[in-house]
Structure 1
Amino acid sequence: MGSNRPFNEECFSNQSENGAFLMGDERESDQDLRLIRLFNHYRHDWMNEIQLIFGYVKLRKYDKLESLIQNIKVKVQRESNVSKLGVPELIMYVFSVQAEVKELKLEVEMEHEIHLNELLIDCKELTRLLIAVIEVFKEHAVVHHEHEYGLQLKLTQTVGKLTIDGHYQCDKTGNQLLPALERVRLQSDMNMTWKTNQWDGHSIGVSIELPLNI
């Protein structure tokens, strides 16, 4: 599976959202502002959850509490798994998309914790690949902003392999997505098996398998 190597500092990028290289105080200020935005988003999000619980209790709608609590547990587990991926740039990117991109509902699922920084894989290139894939769907969602679109990414680590399965559901045609995803594949230096599927122009699937050097 993974080794017990120390955190790979090369996985952390010093680039801003627009790709410009940041220096010293400027980089720290940009990161601080992003952290504040994320904190405010998740604080507001969790306050809404607490208010829902109190509301059901006050109205004595106890039958609705079980499903609500179960949904909260799933949400907490997802956020916990993402926060333990071991790559600060990727963690911040995922949380930022979830907090700031209203047109795209991004869900990242793992059956158990995956520590990318402990795998025998180029996690810097892997981070670039994952961000590039998400960016394709994010840009499509922003262009067609009339609706909220959903992107589900599932990461699975097995013996000798890391698999990333993505499923994107949209109301607008997704014909332009396949060429954009193909460009991401061609621009990546990762050793991988890549498959894409399209159903009725409204659902796109992408499956990426990366061998782990164990």
Structure 2
Amino acid sequence: MKVELNDVLHLLRLYRHDLMNQLQLVDGYASMKQHDLSQEKLHNLIKSLRDERLLQTLDAPQYVYWLIQLKLKEREMEIEFDIEHNEDSLLEFDDRLVHDGKRLFGEIKDHVDEFSQLHILIQIKHEHDWYIKYQVKGIDLSDGDFQADWKGRLEKVKKDNTTSFVFTYK
């Protein structure tokens, strides 16, 4: 995946726009003396920025770029990150992470009317192997829905209205 400078600049514009919107909400609630809502929005913004900072420390530049791009371009979807910091490198899996992520989201798109129904928590952790878990709320996929050959890297777990897709990279 080759990233052009114009693509990066466009992504930065989207990011700045979203950040300004969130800060204007904080300011608006504060100016209306709704300090509880202002504090809640501010704490959510700080958490989001911390999570994104951890995301950017991963040694997988293409995957990180794709995730940030996904979050900014698919605005109707709520995407959060939970990243366990680890010094081990993901670089050797970078292409595979992007490929698997795009393929998974393509499969999800085929089975959902609109992304606005979805809340996705992406958890990244390392315990001898790398585990990338896409926890998707608001989607109901029966066992036969994912026919793609994931070569043993994918485990699907369904619980209530949440489907988790756990990829393992060794």
Which TM-score band (shorter chain)?
0.7 to 0.9
Deviation at 1:77, TM superposition (A): 0.7
Say which of 119, 122, 135 aligns to 1:167: 135
Q: Is the 8 A contact 1:106 1:152 kept in 2?
A: yes
User: CA RMSD of the aligned region, Å?
Assistant: 2.7
Where does residue 91 of structure 1 map in the other structure? Answer: 64
Larger Rg: 1
1:205 aligned onto 2:167: no
- Partner SS, residue 54 of structure 2: helix
Q: Is the 8 A contact 2:27 2:38 kept in 1?
A: no
1:180-199 pair list within 5 angstroms: 180=148, 183-185=149-151, 194-199=154-159
Deviation at 1:129, TM superposition (A): 3.1
- Partner SS, residue 185 of structure 1: coil
TM-score (norm 2): 0.80
Where does residue 66 of structure 1 map in the other structure? Answer: 39
CA distance in 1, matches of 2:121, 2:81: 6
Q: Deviations along 1:159-190, whole A, 9 cap, x unmatched?
A: x343322212234545554323xx1235xxxx
1:118-197 pair list within 5 angstroms: 118-119=88-89, 123-124=91-92, 126-143=93-110, 144-148=112-116, 149-158=118-127, 160-171=128-139, 173-175=141-143, 177-180=145-148, 183-185=149-151, 194-197=154-157
With over 3 angstroms needed to count, the CA separation of the structure-2 counterparts of 1:140 and 1:195, relative to structure 1, is closer
Deviation at 1:95, TM superposition (A): 0.9
What is the percent sequence identity of the aligned residues? 14
The runs of at least 4 aligned residues of structure 1 exceeding 4 Å deviation read: 174-177
Structure 1: runs of 5 or more not aligned = 1-14, 17-29, 187-191
Structure 2: runs of 5 or more not aligned = none
Say which of 114, 138, 144 aligns to 2:86: 114
With over 3 angstroms needed to count, the CA separation of the structure-2 counterparts of 1:35 and 1:153, relative to structure 1, is same
TM-score (norm 1): 0.66
Equivalent residue letter for 2:73: E
Q: Is the 8 A contact 1:174 1:203 kept in 2?
A: no
Q: Is the 8 A contact 1:110 1:156 kept in 2?
A: yes
Q: Is the 8 A contact 2:61 2:94 kept in 1?
A: no
- Tell me: higher relative CO, structure 1 or 2? Use CA pairs within 8 A at least 6 residues apart: 1
Deviation at 1:100, TM superposition (A): 1.4
Q: Deviations along 1:54-105, whole A, 9 cap, x unmatched?
A: 1112111112222222111110111101111122211111111111134543
Q: Deviations along 1:12-69, whole A, 9 cap, x unmatched?
A: xxx34xxxxxxxxxxxxx5112111111111111111111111112111112222222
